[in-house]
Every structure is written in C-alpha cells, then in structure tokens.
Structure 1
Amino acid sequence: MAAPLLEKLSESLGSPEPAVRLILSVLIGYVFALVYRWFLFYQPATVIHLFHICSGLSLAAFNFGSQLYHSATCVFVQFLMLRLMGRTVTAVLSSFTFQMLYLLSGYYYTATEEYDIKWTMPHCVLTLKLIGLAFDFYDGGKEPSKLNPEQKKGALASVPTLLEVFGFSYFYGGFLVGPQFTLRSYQSLVARELTDCPGKPPNSVIPALKRFALGFLCLAIYAIFSPSYPDNYFLTDEYEAQPFWYRCVFILLWGKVMLYKYVSCWVIAEGVCILAGLGYNGVVDGKHQWDACANMRVWLFETTPLFGGTIASFNINTNAWAARSVSNVTCDFPRVKSKWCPKSKKLMSYQ
C-alpha cells in the first residue's frame, strides 16, 4: 500500500522515490521526538535506548530494506572492539581501519554513474560516529590535564553498554544525515540533563520550529529552481556552445541551488535534535542556547566574505569531529621533524 503512494508522490514532486523516502524519514523524526517528550521522558534509560534503537532501525528499513544489516554489523563490531581491546591505540587504529574499509567497500560495490541514495549515505555519518566513539573511549583513560576542552566533553569514563552504543548509533535525529555528536551528549540526553528546565522536558518547541521553517524554506528553494539547472545540461552541445561567462554563471547558480538540497536536510534534522533536547548547549549571556547540533549557520554562510567564515558556518559538527580527532592523534604520537642531509641527498627524520 505504501509503495504505490510513494510512487505517486515522487511523480507529483518530480523527485526520485529514494529522495522522497529520505525527506519523509527526516520529518518523521519530529514525530519520534514528540513521542519521546510526551511519553518516554521520565522512563528508565533502558526503555529510552530501546525506543531509539527501534525508531532508528525502522527508518533504516523504510529507506534501505534488508540492507540495514550493514549498519547493525558495524555497530556491533565496534562494541566488541571497545569491550575486547580496551583503551588502547590498537583499538583506535582497528576501529578506524575496519569502519573506513567497510564504508569504502560499500562505495566501490554500489557505485553507479549517478548520485544514488542508498545505504552508504547514512553509513558515512555512522562511520565517523563510531570512529569518534573509539577516540572518546580512549580519551577516558588519559589524565584530564592531557585533554583539551573538547576532548574532556567527549571522554568516556566507563565502557558503554550494548544498548547505549546501539541507541547512540540509531538515534533518529542523527542516523540518516547527521549531525555528529558524542556518546557523552547522548548519555546526557537519556539522563534528562539536556534541558533548560531541570527534571522536565526542555522548552525547545519554538527553537525547533524555527529550524524546521528555515529548512523548509531551503527545500522550497531547491524544489523551485532545481528543474532550471539540471545536471545533465553540462554534457549537452548547447551548454558547450554558450559563451564562457555564461557557463561560469550557470555553474555558480547550479552549485548554489544544489547545495540547498543538503542544507535543507541538515537544518530540518537539527530541528529534530533540538525538539528532543540534544541540541541544548547551555546558557550564554543569560540566554539558553540550542545550537549544540548545528551543522549549518545559513545566514553566516551566505553573507560572510571570509574563507574562515565559510568554514565556521558549513558542516560544523563534522569539522569539530575532525579537529577533535586530529588533535587526539597529534597528542598521542610524537611529532617527526626532518632536515636535508647534503651527503646522502635525502631528508633525514628525527624527533
């Protein structure tokens, strides 16, 4: 029954069915967040973990069918690595190697000539999340003085349980398109700590609706203008015959319109996290902040004249993940310097 309805909906919207399934799944996240707020907020942690696991798996099944086993396999293997290898560099390297090879193999065996929405899309988000989990668990065994502020926020004091790892991985607000967040943040959510009203559901409905409205606006811009900038136009003789300035302007406008496809998903998904409480980021200047899961600052991105402003406003959580992980590696491994040796005519390394 659902399949024919989705086919008709995708035809009326002029979008591929996988894309329609994806945006519907992101929107369903708001329903799951409301269920959590209204019925599960005061429930034990086990119940909340199971709800997040079941809701995330249902979204995976809705989009990718039986191929959800790819994500489940990687999550379970990651849990075993944490349990069996402990807080070791070997565990971190093994996690990075396994998760990256699994993702790259998925890209290789499912690659086509077009951009397809398939199980590898959310698996990219999951790969970073699980590798980050290994780093955070490793950080939990260090002296606090050796950790930077970001590492201290994510460091895990104890081994997470199987339910925690699966709930963290399949949380409906971040499973499909992100954002990245730490297991510590997820544990704080389950413990009812991410709220502006201690012990009560957060007053986050209005902030969530604002992000939803912005995301919907971005989605409308993409839906209205994308038919005027088709991808295959670049391969036509008509485009080749256009003046150079026209082709440059067309590429610029095409890139801007195509970007809103991703921006809309990020901003709408951020609204889900805010509604659930995961987006709570403390108090600044007497005002409660809801930007802990912000992956895109749209206004700053569109108006900044600086390259640094672009970095600060685009793919924010992924950039933070990379910065935290890279600093982790450079702190744990000695820096290697080099100098030129005139006799051997080689670069000689030393610490």
Structure 2
Amino acid sequence: MSEKDGSVSFNIITNLSNLLGTNEPALRLLFTILAGYPLALIYRKFLYGRNAAVQHVFSITFGFLLGFWNYGLDIFHTVFAIALSYSTLFVLGGTSLSVAIIFIYNIVYLLIGTDSYDINWTMPQCILVLRLIGISFDLYDGHRPPETLSTESKKVALNKCPSVLEFFGHTLFPASFMVGPQFPMKRYQDFVNGKFSPGRTPPPSEKAAALRFGLGVFYLSIFQLLGLLVSDPFMYSNEFADLGFFSKILLLGIWGRYTLYKYISCWLLTEGACILFGLTYNGTDEHGAPLWNGVENVKLSIFENTTEFTHYIQSFNTNTNSWIAQYVYKRLKFLGNRNISQLAALLFLAIWHGFHSGYYVCFFFEFIVVYMEREVKSIVKSNAALSNFFARSSVLLVVNLLLRLYTFIFMGWCLLPFALLTFDRYWTAFSSVYHIGTILFVLWPILYSPILKIIFKRGSKTRVE
C-alpha cells in the first residue's frame, strides 16, 4: 500500500493506473465522477422527497468522503473556505462588505495554493470559489430593489441566508463539487424541497441520464484514441517541429480537440449523474416533456459545428461562461465600454486559473479573436457588395467549410498556452507552427483592420437580394 497525506490508498488503484497508462490522481478523479451514479441511485431510492436536513447530511457526508479519498487532509482547505464564507454571510448578511470579503478571501486563498496544474485540492477549490462568490452576490441581490436586478439575478436572488446545512450541502454536492457543473444555491434549494418532482416519487430522468453517460463514455474513448496521436509534450517536441507545415497544423487541430474532449467527457459524465439525481430539471418542451438540461455545460450540436469562436463560447463550459457574464461582465456596465468589460471578465478568468503566463496569453487570444470576428462581420454587413457576395449559396458553402477548418486549427493555437502553461513550452509550440496565430490575430487591429476598412468603406447602398 502507498501513503498519501496520511491516508491509505489501496494497491488496486495504483496497479490499475499503471495498467491503463494513466496517473493515479486522474484515475481517482474518474472513479469519483462515476461514483455520482450509484450515489444518485441510493438517493432516489431512500432520500428523495424526505426531510431536507437528511438530504443535506447525505450530500455533505459523501461529498466530503469523496474529497478525502482524492486529496486526504487537504480537503480541509475546502471545509475551511466554506465555513469562513458562511460565517461571513451569517454575521454580515447580504451586504457589499460580505461580497467583498468572500470574493477577495477565496480568490487569494486559491491563488496561494495554486502552484501547478496537477490534480490536487485546488481543482474542486476552483469550482468552490465561484460557488461561494455566487452565493454572496445572490444574497446581496436579494436585499436590493427587484427593479434594479437583471432577469437572471431575479431568478437566483436569496432573500435570507441559507442554513449551515444548506450551505455545506450545496457546496459539497457529491455529483458536482469536484469538476462542476456550476449551479446556484436557489436550484439546490428547489431540488431539495421537491419542486422538480412533486411528492416523494423520483423524477423520470433515467433515460436522459443514460444518454449523457453514454455520450461521456464516447467522448472519453475518443480522447483516449486521439492520445495515441498527440499529447501535450508532443506539441513542444523536436518530433513535432520537424514535421511538414500542413502536418503540423492538422495535428494542432487534432490536439485542440484532444484537449477539449478531456473536459467534455468529464462534464458529460458529471451532468449525467446530476440528471439522475433530478437536480437538472429545466421545465418542459413544447410537447410537455421534461427538460433535463438545467446544468448543461456543453452544447454538443453547436460545439461540433463551430464556424466562429463565439460558438465555442456559447457551447463550451457554458455554466462558467454564464457565471462570468452574470457576476462579472454585466456588473461592469458602469464602465460604459463593452470591450473593457469583456477584457476585465477575461482577466478575472485568467487570475481564477492561476499565475502561469499561459492563462493570460490564452484569454488574451480569446479577446482578440472575438474582437476580430466582430469587426469582420461589421465590415461585411456595412458593405453591400460584400454582403451580396457572401449571400450566394455557392460562396456560403465554401466559406462554411473554410470557417470550420479555421476554428478547428486555431482553437488548437489558442489552447496551447492554456495547456502548456509555461512560456518556454508554448513559445516553442508557437514557433513550430511559425506563429500563424500571432500573424493572424495580433496584427488584426494594427494592420489588417485599418486596411480593410479603407478598401471596403461603409456604403449606404442597400443589399440586393
């Protein structure tokens, strides 16, 4: 047996990780995600619709045990952060001071603990930080005049401080606190109070959960297969640098998908467990059938058909993106500039991830790419000749194919600094593909945009259909 943080780990985990060619923390995390399914079945059988306190204790107990199994005594970092945040809200209530304290404390505590991108206690802590900050904002909003709140804020605002059991039950919910998905306290309260399925009968969510689980296994399998072709170290290796240009950009796109599928597979599996719990109810469709996409974190139909980077934002890690929009971006309206608000939101995302320069470079590219695409659309829309040209069906087909290729390749480019983290690694990878992303994106506002705006002046001619 091997020791880890004072706890004893079974040999079977170590042996299995060696057999599968993966590291032990990653395998533990996978088993933890999959544990959400039997826990959901136990919950459905014995606890659904029962006393709320019992449900909270179930969530707290198994969330803590799963965290302890993964990180040993380091799980108490999580417990301490939850306890301090709850104490702040209990004493100060829904005030701007409580928001500031919880915001600053949790961000600083996370950053102090973050020195690598390994699987350790800071992984669930990232999810926890947003959840705790979100609760503080929701309680703050609950004490503001309703007419000053956005539609989304009205839905999740809290009129009173949750009980200590509610607070810990929400933050340690066993199917989500390790890797997400992110969801507000109000959803957890509605779930525990049986608002998603009247009475004590568990909701008919089994088929929806099985579908999401199947998709998670499928994407996990594709991730493993792509891992036979590419890996993170491969992207800054001499072997990659020695390949031909077209081979490199093709592998760059494949590596981008490989990186994204790692996250997608985890999110699909955790979402399936949340669906089985019954947490994800989202009303009914036009036929009256229940919708179970309340915590959906990836919209596969949009993701697999992207023709612009905005589609990635709309379809990938949607809960975090929605959180950023609601609690950061929209609250910066007073700045009076959409670009500044977006840049500030992306800066928060980079800080939330850690100190590595790769995070900041990655989110800088997200900003500049979205800025470029927005300007291209504006140039085309404002020029009648361009609008008419791109409206042709034959042209649309070719452009769509080119845009699919563009998003496929350059998502890989944008992800290089995020995944490789350190300057020497991602700069080597950038150099191997001749800085194609720098040439295309960074030079856009400096060179291409001014030239194109001169060539294609805004015309007053109406578009010819």
The letter of the residue matching 1:247 is K
Matched with 1:119 is 121
The letter of the residue matching 2:46 is F
User: Offset at 1:43?
Assistant: 2.0
Matched with 2:236 is 235
Q: 1:301 aligns with which of 303, 307, 310?
A: 303
CA–CA separation in structure 2 for the residues paired with 1:336 and 1:273: 39
User: Offset at 1:336?
Assistant: 6.6
Matched, 1:76 2:83: yes
After superposition, where does 1:79-228 map in structure 2 within 5 Å? 79-108=86-115, 111=116, 115-195=117-197, 199-228=200-229
User: Offset at 1:237?
Assistant: 2.3
The letter of the residue matching 2:178 is L
Are residues 230 and 306 of structure 1, via their aligned partners in 2, closer, same or farther at CA, if it must alter by over 3 Å?
closer
User: Offset at 1:144?
Assistant: 1.6
Secondary structure of residue in 1 paired with 2:10: helix
Larger radius of gyration, structure 1 or 2?
2
Secondary structure of residue in 2 paired with 1:282: coil
Matched, 1:27 2:29: no
Secondary structure of residue in 1 paired with 2:228: helix
Deviations 1:237-272 (A, max 9, x none): 222222222222211111111211111000100011
Secondary structure of residue in 2 paired with 1:312: helix
User: Offset at 1:198?
Assistant: 5.1
User: Offset at 1:71?
Assistant: 0.4
Matched, 1:53 2:60: yes
Q: Say whether the 8 Å CA contact 2:49–2:192 is kept in structure 1.
A: no
User: Offset at 1:161?
Assistant: 1.0
Matched, 1:11 2:12: no
CA–CA separation in structure 1 for the residues paired with 2:241 and 2:224: 26
User: Offset at 1:153?
Assistant: 1.2
Deviations 1:156-200 (A, max 9, x none): 1111111111000000121011011011100111101123x5542
User: Offset at 1:326?
Assistant: 2.5
The letter of the residue matching 2:185 is L
Matched, 1:325 2:327: yes
Matched, 1:260 2:261: yes
Matched with 2:72 is 65
RMSD: 1.6
CA–CA separation in structure 2 for the residues paired with 1:198 and 1:284: 22
Secondary structure of residue in 1 paired with 2:324: helix
CA–CA separation in structure 2 for the residues paired with 1:335 and 1:234: 40
Structure 2 gap segments, 5+ residues each:
2-8, 338-465
Q: Say whether the 8 Å CA contact 2:49–2:193 is kept in structure 1.
A: no
Q: Moved runs in structure 1, 4+ residues, more than 3 A?
A: 334-337
Q: Say whether the 8 Å CA contact 1:135–1:328 is kept in structure 2.
A: no
Q: Say whether the 8 Å CA contact 1:141–1:157 is kept in structure 2.
A: yes
Secondary structure of residue in 2 paired with 1:163: helix
The letter of the residue matching 1:292 is G
CA–CA separation in structure 2 for the residues paired with 1:220 and 1:155: 40
Q: Among the aligned pairs, what percent are the same residue?
A: 39
User: Offset at 1:107?
Assistant: 0.7
User: Offset at 1:85?
Assistant: 1.6
Are residues 92 and 238 of structure 1, via their aligned partners in 2, closer, same or farther at CA, if it must alter by over 3 Å?
same
Are residues 320 and 236 of structure 1, via their aligned partners in 2, closer, same or farther at CA, if it must alter by over 3 Å?
closer
Residue correspondences, number: 329
Matched with 1:39 is 46
**TM-score under structure 1 normalisation?**
0.90
CA–CA separation in structure 2 for the residues paired with 1:314 and 1:233: 25
Matched with 2:273 is 272
The letter of the residue matching 1:130 is L
**TM-score under structure 2 normalisation?**
0.68
Q: 2:290 aligns with which of 288, 291, 303?
A: 288
CA–CA separation in structure 1 for the residues paired with 2:147 and 2:195: 25
User: Offset at 1:204?
Assistant: 0.2
CA–CA separation in structure 2 for the residues paired with 1:328 and 1:228: 41
Secondary structure of residue in 2 paired with 1:181: coil
The letter of the residue matching 1:80 is S
CA–CA separation in structure 1 for the residues paired with 2:69 and 2:271: 21
Secondary structure of residue in 2 paired with 1:194: coil
